[in-house]
Amino acid sequence: MISEKKDIRALSKDELRSFFESIGDKAFRGTQVYDWLWNKGIHSFDDMTNLSKETRAHLSENFVINHIKVDHIQKSNDGTIKNAVKLHDDLVVESVLIPTKSRTTACVSSQVGCSLDCRFCATAKLKRMRNLNPDEIYDQVVAIDKESRLYHNKPLSNIVFMGMGEPLMNYKNVLESIEKITSEEGLGMSPKRITVSTSGVPKMIKKLADDEVKFHLAVSLHSAIQETREQIMPFAKAFTLTDLRDALEYWYSKTNRKITYEYIVWKDINDKWADIEALVTFCKYVPCKVNIIEYNPIDDGQFQQASSSIIEDYIQALEHNRIPVTVRRSRGKDIDAACGQLANKQ
Ligand code: SAH
């Protein structure tokens, strides 16, 4: 059931303080409530034990706490954990915990479904239902952090916005969630440990630069040839490589921070020398590194990973041009938790 009452977590600390003043109470009660909501992460007004019974009742008459609920957990053989997360309106998104020797990374969703139409991505088939609000994103991180402590005995070290959705199409809420994640009142994580991955929305990349964000930017490039990119990512007709290049140059001039390009090599799509050359040329525009990611097949079988010898050609060409390149192995494939496989199958 969707409640008509306002979610109390949409209020800032100042707004909470004003609320208490408006009902003839002390402003500091607002600070106490804020602390319960964000530092202690409680799910119910009844848990706010330093407030009187009447105050708690008054709050629950006026507000709700729309906390996410981890509905279902799947564990992969490689230690990856996937959460199906139920939202207050019963929609479901997924988030993933990816442990390695040196770090544990949360992969979080920013939208229910996705606004874009990448033909190789399972989430794209879901269409976008709605944007997640800042606390729904924040809650995913908190849930994964708890699991990281529980199953891997260490707190979460990194966050990537590579789950469902296009983060830059939910710009304001994504930035607000990062604000909370990095603030001392929230999780106090360094923005250097956060990466926002975009399919490449030029205007919003420029806005990130203007807003002087401190996190890392990754761009899902997949092809540096306009025509090819349009075929696999049809929205690229509107968001062209020329505009993308321009936005990335602007980003670098303002932030001085390297971009990561995510790149999948597919058979018969981008496995020719011309594709490699175009990538090398594109990589010279702005300091960057390339992350070659393994393709995780989605059901329709239209796309196939290219042979390892072609991937080796890519690596050699990039290295020859002093462009750092890494190859990312898939994690959590057996539970459909790998990149591009998030589609609420469970
Ligand atoms: N919309 C954002 C973030 C979500 S996708 C973006 O496009 O960057 C996260 C990453 O997974 C992107 O690099 C995307 O291109 C990649 N991806 C999508 N489908 C995939 C698949 N089937 N196999 C491997 N990676 C995939």
Q: Which pTM was predicted?
A: 0.92
Looking at the DSSP bridge assignments, the partners of residue 327 are 292
pLDDT of residue 3: 59
Q: Where are the domains of the chain?
A: 6-64, 69-335
Residue 151 to residues 100, 110, 189, Cα–Cα distance (Å): 13, 25, 20
List CB contacts of 234: < 8 A, sequence separation 6 or more. Answer: 117, 119
Sign (positive/negative) of CA torsion 187, 191, 197, 202? Answer: positive
Long-range pairs, 115-118, Cβ under 8 A, ≥24: 115/165, 115/166, 115/169, 116/166, 116/169, 116/199, 116/233, 116/235, 117/233, 117/234, 117/235, 118/199, 118/220, 118/232, 118/233, 118/340
> Which listed residue (54, 61, 94, 185) is catalytic?
94
Instruction: Give, using CA atoms, the residue closest to atom 26 of ligand 1.
Output: 340
CATH class of the region 69-335? alpha beta
With CA atoms as reference, report the closest residue to 80 among 340, 344, 267, 330.
330
The predicted-structure confidence for 322-336, as pLDDT tens digits, reads as follows 999 999 877 777 777
Mean residue pLDDT across the chain: 93
**Which atom of ligand 1 is least distant from the CA of 219?**
8
Q: 238: buried, middle or exposed (CB in 10 Å: 19+, 13-18, 0-12)?
A: exposed
Binding residues: 114, 118, 121, 165-166, 197, 220-222, 296
Whether residue 339 lies in the annotated active site: yes
Single out the residue of 188, 343, 327 nearest to residue 265, CA to CA. Answer: 327
Among 221, 108, 212, 125, residue whose Cα is nearest residue 170: 108
Render pLDDT for 159-211 as a digit per residue (tens, 0 to 9): 999 999 999 999 999 999 999 999 987 889 999 999 999 999 999 999 999 99
- Tell me how far the alpha carbon of residue 211 lies from the centroid of ligand 1, in angstroms: 25
Task: Enumerate residues lining ligand 1, CB below 6 A.
Answer: 118, 120-121, 162, 166, 197-199, 220, 262, 264, 293, 295-296, 298, 339-340
The CATH code for residues 6-64 is 1.10.150.530
Torsion angle defined by CA atoms of residues 119, 213, 177 and 10, in that order, rounded to the nearest 10 degrees: -120
Which of 167-197 are b and which e, b meaning 16 or more Cβ less than 10 Å from the residue's Cβ? bbbbbebbbbbbebbbeeebbebeeebbbbb
Q: How far is the CA of 77 from the centre of ligand 1 (A)?
A: 22
- In this structure, the residue with its CA closest to atom 11 of ligand 1 is 339
Which tens digit of pLDDT belongs to each residue from 226-283? 999 999 999 999 999 999 999 999 999 999 999 999 999 999 999 999 999 999 999 9
Ligand 1 centroid to 13 CA: how many Å?
Answer: 36
According to DSSP, residue 5 is labeled: S
